[in-house]
Amino acid sequence: MWRGPGTPTDSFYEVRPECTDVPKTKFRIKAGRTLSPRKWHATFSPEGFLDIGKTLSRIHRGGIHPTIRGEVWEFLLGCFDPKSTYAERDQIRERRRAQYNVLKEECHQIFSLIGSGKFVTAPIISEEGDPILDPIVLQQMGDGDGNNPDMVKETDQRIIQWKLTLHQIGLDVVRTDRTLIFYEKQENLSKLWDILAVYAWFDKDVGYCQGMSDLCSPMIILLDNEGDAFWCFQHLMRRLRGNFRCTDQSVGVETQLTNLASVTQVIDPKLHQHLETLGGGDYLFAFRMLMVLFRREFSFGDSLYLWEMMWALEYDPNLFLSYEDPDSSTEISEGSKAGGKAIYQCGKYEREYLKNAGRSNEPPLPISVFLVANVLKEKSPKLLAEARGLDDVVKILNDVTGNIDARKACTGALKLHKKYLKKAQAAKKV
């Protein structure tokens, strides 16, 4: 039963008792505001059609109850069409699980630790394709004599590149959400490693990059089935994989950093000028916030609340149409989505874009850009008064960790977005 100002959600994502410096979750389950299991199930018709518009407004009011988070996220991320029936979704789910099992078996055939409940944290191969007979690797593989069929010279460049990432995935897995009791279990760590290893094989262009483990971890915790967690992560990556595209010349997230600079220049020209003077005009200090969607700036529970608020605000009913081919790892550009959407089924941020900027055919900026812009605006007086170098900027921004209210941040981002659109349109008329 819900009482008082709301039930805290930390009990759903228990922290190890020795981790005393973890920020407390501000998100509270509130009767009448949070999307409850009862309200969620009542939103479906007898056949299984979902009234997505009603669902989005409730998520925006008070987030999602932790017990149904995983299944709601599957809709928010476009895994399922709200206009599908229960039977159709069952078929899609079974097909996707089978596809994941095929992918996983393919990876297992190349490296037998995939799916074994174990993982590696030391390199297993050189860039030339020679096996590295490291005692740590042999121990992790449970192989004392080194006669493992995995330990052979590789000549296939794609296999070499994939095997080169496996120990990095392992190192990141043991660092990800290590304060949570959930990851005290070896089976949960290996599940995270398996999904990220399979994704690295599946996504030929991007493979694996640091930061992906932070994005994948909640999927493992919220969805019991490994195949479901994989596809939910894959749908999230369809939105974000551009952030991870790195070449010798540029970092994938640079586009968003450039957008952030443009927004700040319009919203707070004084701050933008100050940051440029300090040598921070590239806004690289905001890299992490945009790369892993504020996972490090919030407690675990609050970051999940922030994500679902963002996805509900940005929701486009044509998401499923865009993501219908689960074999594809290509991101969908916002401008290429199918038309004919009912505006009341869109999230509030998407509606604002359609009303104000949709005529220009320019793709909307992700709401995450305005969330960071809102953090900068909140810290603007302090940055202007105290920042005398980039180290000061980083220090002042690090102070926000554990101190941001997700709901207020989203409200602030929406206001900034409105203000930015007005100013940008006024500038065009001049």
Domains in the chain, start-ordered, CATH in brackets?
A: 98-220 (no CATH), 254-429 (1.10.472.80)
The token pair that represents 192 in the structure block: 């995270």
pLDDT of residue 77: 95
Predicted local confidence at residue 323, as pLDDT: 57
Residue 38: Cβ-neighbour burial (10 angstroms; 0-12, 13-18, 19+)? exposed
Q: Express each pLDDT in 357-379 by its tens digit.
A: 555 556 678 899 999 999 999 99
Torsion, Cα 390 394 399 402, to 10 degrees, reads: 160
d(CA 133, CA 121): 13
Q: What is the pLDDT averaged over residues 119-134?
A: 90
Which tokens in the block code for residue 207? Answer: 């493979």
**Using 50, 70 and 90 to split pLDDT, how confident is the model at 399?**
confident
Percent of the chain with pLDDT over 90: 59
**């392992």: which residue's tokens?**
170
Q: Are 230 and 199 in contact (CB under 8 A)?
A: yes
Name the 3-class secondary structure at 131.
Answer: strand
- SS3 for 7-62, per residue? EECHHHCCECCCCCCCCCCCCEECCCCCECHHHHHHCECCCCCECHHHHHHHHHHH
- The model's confidence at residue 334, banded by pLDDT at 50, 70 and 90, is very low
Q: What mean pLDDT comes out for the span 390-403?
A: 86
Q: Give pLDDT tens digits for 34-51.
A: 999 999 999 999 999 999
Q: Over 80: is that where the pLDDT of 219 sits?
A: yes
Residue 136 pLDDT exceeds 80: no
Backbone angles phi, psi at 8, to 5 degrees: -65, 155
Encoded tokens for 384: 């202007």
Whether residue 320 has pLDDT greater than 90: no
pLDDT band per the 50, 70, 90 thresholds, residue 242 = confident
- In this prediction, residue 386 carries a pLDDT of 94
Q: To 5 degrees, how large is the angle CA 94–CA 346–CA 224?
A: 30
Does the predicted TM-score (pTM) go above 0.75?
A: yes
| Nearest-10 Cα torsion for 174, 176, 180, 185 | -30
